[in-house]
């Protein structure tokens, strides 16, 4: 029995072909520890690349980012004039600011609250104009001004329905699909450029000459906080009995401050 087993083993060992590794076989020449370290490093790199890619998707440029320093400074200056540039409550965007006063109507439950350290209110949600009515005092007319540039409800709706764009001036201008920051800024530039004629060249000339009065006069019909003329050293707005217009000097100072910031 033993002899027969030995014979079988010897027969098999004589007939067996030598082992040939597959064509894609790569011999392991490094130590197992270093191989594992390299694999972990590669995995970390892949993970970091994936994170970077996701962050890049999130960090999408806004409409405001696409503007020239001159127009960025202009929108910020108007926002400052409307008392919305620097809200007193941390975490509230200028794009959420309501006109100061007491809320008298909020049909769509968009009221967010009051600022703690200064007069003013804010709204929540950007799907549509908040349509909140606010009164400065009991006898005052209710205002629906909202957002960084204080858009009135009727102005918002009018721009939203506007159809004088395109080659034949009969297409929708695509303004105010919502009241997000991008939509507010886009509408602001449309009103500044198309409706009031404040061009890039006009702003550059104002900076060069140090004279912004022509700019403010063009925009005073749209924003009551901007002066239309100077009466005995005091800025007066376009509308009758308006006494809360910012001075020409303060507006120039704020504009140049913002312009230098965005230019750098």
Dump the DSSP string for 187-216: HHHHIIIIIT---HHHHHHHHHHT--HHHH
Q: What percent of the chain has pLDDT over 90?
A: 63
Beta bridge partners of 235: 230
- Domain match, 72 and 183 both: yes
Of 36-50, 72-86, 117-131, 223-237, which gets the smallest average pLDDT? 36-50
Residue 165 in this model has a pLDDT that exceeds 90: yes
Which residue, 126, 147, 168, sits at the end of a domain? 147
- Domain match, 157 and 132 both: no
Evaluate the CA torsion angle 90, 93, 99, 105 in order and state its sign.
Answer: negative
- Domain match, 73 and 117 both: no
Burial of 197 (0-12, 13-18, 19+ CB in 10 A): exposed
pTM: 0.76
Kindly report, residue by residue over 91-130, the tens digit of the pLDDT: 899 999 999 999 999 999 999 999 888 888 999 999 999 9
Which residue, 128, 147, 166, sits at the end of a domain? 147
In whole numbers, what is the pLDDT of the chain averaged over residues? 85
Quick one: pLDDT at residue 105? 98
Residue 108 lies in a domain: yes
- Domain match, 68 and 171 both: yes
CB atoms within 10 A of CB 50: 10
Number of structural domains the chain divides into:
2
- Domain match, 143 and 205 both: no
How far is the C-alpha of 208 from the C-alpha of 42, rounded, in Å?
55
**For the CA atoms of 227, 73, 223, 145, what is the dihedral angle to 10 degrees?**
-140
């Amino acid at each position: 029995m033993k002899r027969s087993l030995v014979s079988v083993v010897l027969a098999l060992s004589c007939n067996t072909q030598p082992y040939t590794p597959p064509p894609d076989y790569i011999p392991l020449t490094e130590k197992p520890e270093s191989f594992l370290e390299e694999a972990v490093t590669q995995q970390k790199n892949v993970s970091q690349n994936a994170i970077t890619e996701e962050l890049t998707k999130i960090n999408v440029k806004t409409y405001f980012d696409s503007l020239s320093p001159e127009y960025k400074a202009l929108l910020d200056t108007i926002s400052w004039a409307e008392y919305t540039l620097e809200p007193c409550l941390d975490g509230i965007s200028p794009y959420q600011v309501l006109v100061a006063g007491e809320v008298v109507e909020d049909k769509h439950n968009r009221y967010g609250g009051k600022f703690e350290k200064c007069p003013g209110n804010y709204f929540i949600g950007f799907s549509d104009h908040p349509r909140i009515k606010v009164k400065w005092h009991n006898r005052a007319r209710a205002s629906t001004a909202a957002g960084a540039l204080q858009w009135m409800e009727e102005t918002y709706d009018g721009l939203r329905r506007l159809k004088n764009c395109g080659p034949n001036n009969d297409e929708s201008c695509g303004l105010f699909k919502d009241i997000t920051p991008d939509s507010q800024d886009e509408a602001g530039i449309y009103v500044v450029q198309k409706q009031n004629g404040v061009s890039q060249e006009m702003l550059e000339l104002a900076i060069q000459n140090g004279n912004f009065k022509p700019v403010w006069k063009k925009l005073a019909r749209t924003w009551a906080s901007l002066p239309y003329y100077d009466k005995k050293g005091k800025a007066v707005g376009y509308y009758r009995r308006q006494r809360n217009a910012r001075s020409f000097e303060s507006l120039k100072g704020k504009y140049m401050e913002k312009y230098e910031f965005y230019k750098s």
